[in-house]
Amino acid sequence: MLRRRPRVDDRRRDIGFICDFHSPNLKFICRTGFADRAPAGDYPLASRFDEVDTLVIFDDVLIPWENVLTSVPPWPF
């Protein structure tokens, strides 16, 4: 994990994978929607087209290699 601010000379590290929602130590932080919190006139677009934003935290979550779709550079290191 990169624990400092990224620099231009850092190597590119990307990974795409499939993860089960019931994995241990997987946490979701969601914001509440605007729908039904205020009059629709105050939030005309959000009251109709509201999407919930979610931050996903992978705290020591095991991803099996069968579920890894892409990786740059090819892992494992």
pTM given for the model: 0.56
Topology of domain 14-72, CATH: Butyryl-CoA Dehydrogenase, subunit A; domain 2 (2.40.110)
Long-range contacts of 3-7 (CB under 8 A, 24+ apart): none
Mean pLDDT, rounded, of the chain = 77
Percent of the chain with pLDDT over 70: 60
Closest to 19 (Cα-Cα) out of 54, 65, 74: 65
Q: What is the mean pLDDT of residues 7-13?
A: 66
Domain boundaries, the chain: 14-72
Confidence of residue 58 (pLDDT cuts 50, 70, 90): very high
